[in-house]
Amino acid sequence: MNPGREKVRIGSSVRTALASGQPVVALESSVFVQGLPSPQREQVAQEVLTLVRELGVTPALTAVVAGVPWVGLELEQLQQLQSTPGVRKAGWRDLAAVMASGQSAATTVSATLALAHAAGLLVLATGGIGGVHRPRRTASPTLDVSADLFALTRFPLIVVCSGAKNLLDLPNTCELLESLSIPVVGWQTDRFPAFYIRDSGWPVSCRVDTLAEVSTLWTAHRRFAGGAVLLVQPCPEGAALTAQEWEYWLEQAEAEAHQSGQQGGDWTPFVLRRLAELSGGRTVRANQALLLANVRLAAELARALAPAEPTAAGESRP
């Protein structure tokens, strides 16, 4: 394929893996740029990349660098994004604008789904997806819904995560996932996890206990041209928070955000920073633990799904 006509720029290690039919796991870059504080983000990025490679799988970090969408970012490129103050966070809708303006941006789950699908990948690992946001200090409903949910309907990948983030309206998030016909598959669990918390109180749509079951379900799902499948696993037990302590810290953090006049895109970073402080760093450690667990599961799944035949880089698999 002519590199100048590719939808995305494929990193050399990812291109080699696809050409030889070896497993690849897509990774969003936003979690390593905006999702964790420094120096934890640099440390966790290195741990994730090392873990994937130790499991015999090629990591495929996604981002936009100087207007070029990448699948298979090199560590040096990621470090440049991490060291750039105020680097943009790009969702699916932002990709064209970032590319057209020649900007660089870390990619969220929705953008990573688009880029990974363009490169022909099947498995994506992340911490937690976005969803329906809760109203802030008002009883009015909100139309603030993450693009992640709609990207899941469009791009057929298996997304390994720990459910949706606790800051969200989880009941409405689960309802919308059902309305959008996105299978929510519990990995050795019957319950939908809530990021730091192992059980949101909501059930999954089905449960699997082996990689073979995931493969069978994925094959059946693709017969009807479905979008993505969410494969959810709880935060590791030793790192998880209880619902009671989480609600206590969250109420205090949101009250402080309201009192200090946080609005728009500043609200969530402020709340997350205060949660880390109020919990004595436990939220950050839980985030690290669940991300590594999800990456491990995604790598094992990618090995199980690795095609018998090589796949040309940039060509989507059926």
Average pLDDT of the chain is 91
pLDDT at 165 (0 to 100): 86
| DSSP class per residue in 235-279 | PPTTTPPPHHHHHHHHHHHHHHHHHTT--GGGHHHHHHHHHHHHT
Does residue 253 belong to any structural domain of this protein? no
Q: Is residue 228 scored above 60 in pLDDT?
A: yes
Does residue 274 belong to any structural domain of this protein? no
* Number of domains comprising the chain: 1
Query: What domain range includes position 90?
Result: 3-241+279-305
Does residue 252 belong to any structural domain of this protein? no
Q: What are phi and psi of 158, to 5 degrees?
A: -95, 120
Does residue 145 belong to any structural domain of this protein? yes
Residue with tokens 């059980």: 199
Integer Cα distance of 232 and 127 in angstroms: 10
Does residue 60 belong to any structural domain of this protein? yes
pLDDT in tens, 80-92: 999 999 899 999 9
Q: Which of 172-176, 204-208, 222-226, 237-241 bottoms out in mean pLDDT, i.e. has the lowest?
A: 222-226
Q: Is residue 317 scored above 70 in pLDDT?
A: no
pLDDT in tens, 117-162: 999 999 999 999 999 987 765 555 557 889 999 999 999 999 999 9
pLDDT band of 4, cuts 50, 70, 90:
very low
Q: Are strands 88-90 and 68-71 parallel, antiparallel or unpaired?
A: unpaired
Q: What are phi and psi of 95, to 5 degrees?
A: -60, -45
Q: Which residues pair with 125 in a beta bridge?
A: 27, 160
Task: Catalogue the active-site residues.
Answer: 28, 165
Identify which has the larger pLDDT, 179 or 139: 179
Does residue 248 belong to any structural domain of this protein? no
Q: Is residue 2 scored above 50 in pLDDT?
A: no
Does residue 266 belong to any structural domain of this protein? no
pLDDT in tens, 188-198: 999 999 999 99
pLDDT at 125 (0 to 100): 98
DSSP conformational letter for 194 = B
Does residue 24 belong to any structural domain of this protein? yes
Dihedral through CA 6, CA 25, CA 181, CA 217, nearest 10? 120
Question: Model's pTM, two decimal places?
Answer: 0.92
pLDDT at 3 (0 to 100): 45
- Indicate the SS3 state at residue 81: helix
| CATH at 54 | 3.40.1790.10
Q: What are phi and psi of 231, to 5 degrees?
A: -110, 110
pLDDT at 7 (0 to 100): 86
pLDDT at 310 (0 to 100): 61
Q: Is residue 5 scored above 90 in pLDDT?
A: no
pLDDT in tens, 30-50: 999 998 888 999 999 999 999
pLDDT in tens, 254-311: 999 989 998 766 777 788 899 999 999 999 999 999 999 999 999 999 999 987 556 6
Contact 65, 73 (CB under 8 A): yes
Burial 34-58 (b: 16+ CB within 10 A, else e): bbbeeebbbebbeebbeebeebebb
